[in-house]
Amino acid sequence: MALHANSLDTPAYTVTDTSVIDFPAPELLRMLEDARQALTANPERAPQIALGFLKRIVSPPAVEAALARGGLAPWQKRKVERYLQDNLEHSICMNELAREARLSVSHFCRAFKKSFGDTPHAYVIRLRLELARKLMLTTEEPLSQIALSCGLADQAHLSKLFRRVFHDTPNAWRRRNLTEGHAHSERRTPGAPMLHAA
């Protein structure tokens, strides 16, 4: 029997197991009604209520397996990724991210790391640095403006993070990659006229 707690818009505790405890129908209906009333009274506790319901009707090994998988549901991942892409240039608050996934901050952080392999903070930094590299190669904006466009405090902040992750300064990386890209494009188009700086 497959039970999908995320039908309640809660974390993706998906249990597919044959070890569901056999309850008489009236008892099962009573437990469902208890869960419904608890959700109505306190919707913020939906994950805990759903998990409590699962614990009552599924054997402990199945619940443990569900908890071990406990990452974000596909809809939560999509929503969080879209929010991050749309807001990289702004300050991103953990409460907002957790709200997008309809989870508490602590539960969101655990589920996020399980799904993305990184903490939310580290993942956002990586996205910002990838955007910075893209802008360095596709625009002529100064690094100070690129830093702001990526949601970083200033050029010094960009340089510090860039050196930590890529072991290079943004200026050196930009020069080298623009030069390599130019040389590569010249090699790919033999017979094309050479461009000389005026």
Cβ atoms < 10 Å from Cβ of 71: 17
Q: What is the pLDDT of residue 14?
A: 42
Cβ atoms < 10 Å from Cβ of 46: 19
Q: In this predicted model, which residue has the larger pLDDT, 196 or 88?
A: 88
DSSP-assigned letters across all residues of 184-198: HHHHHSTTPPPP---
| d(C-alpha 107, C-alpha 10), whole Å | 11
Tell me, what DSSP letter sits at residue 70? -
| d(C-alpha 61, C-alpha 59), whole Å | 6
β-partners of residue 2 are: 16
* CATH code at 123-188: 1.10.10.60
Residue 130 has pLDDT above 80, yes or no: yes
What is the tens place of the pLDDT at every residue in 19-36? 445 556 677 677 778 778
Q: What is the pLDDT of residue 125?
A: 96
What is the tens place of the pLDDT at every residue in 138-180? 999 999 999 999 999 999 999 999 999 999 999 999 999 998 7
- Which residues, other chains included, contact 172 with Cβ-Cβ below 8 Å and sequence gap of 6+? none
Residue spans per domain, the chain:
2-69, 74-117, 123-188
Q: In this predicted model, which residue has the larger pLDDT, 2 or 38?
A: 38
Own/partner pairs, 160-168, CB within 8 angstroms, 24+ separation: 161/125, 161/128, 161/129, 162/129, 162/132, 165/125, 165/126, 165/129, 166/129
Q: In this predicted model, which residue has the larger pLDDT, 60 or 38?
A: 38
β-partners of residue 4 are: 14
Counting every residue written for the chain, the total comes to 198
- Tell me the residue type at 198: A
Q: What is the pLDDT of residue 171?
A: 96
| d(C-alpha 98, C-alpha 11), whole Å | 11
Q: In this predicted model, which residue has the larger pLDDT, 16 or 159?
A: 159
User: What value does the CA radius of gyration of the chain take, rounded to a whole number of Å?
Assistant: 25
Q: What is the pLDDT of residue 179?
A: 85
Q: What is the pLDDT of residue 50?
A: 72
| Confidence label for 133 from pLDDT (cuts 50, 70 and 90) | very high
| d(C-alpha 71, C-alpha 113), whole Å | 8
The pair of three-digit structure tokens given for residue 149, joined into one six-digit string: 């466009």
Q: What is the pLDDT of residue 5?
A: 40
What is the tens place of the pLDDT at every residue in 41-84? 877 777 777 766 666 665 444 444 444 467 999 999 999 999 99
What is the tens place of the pLDDT at every residue in 85-122? 999 999 999 999 999 999 999 999 999 999 999 999 99
Tell me, what DSSP letter sits at residue 102? T
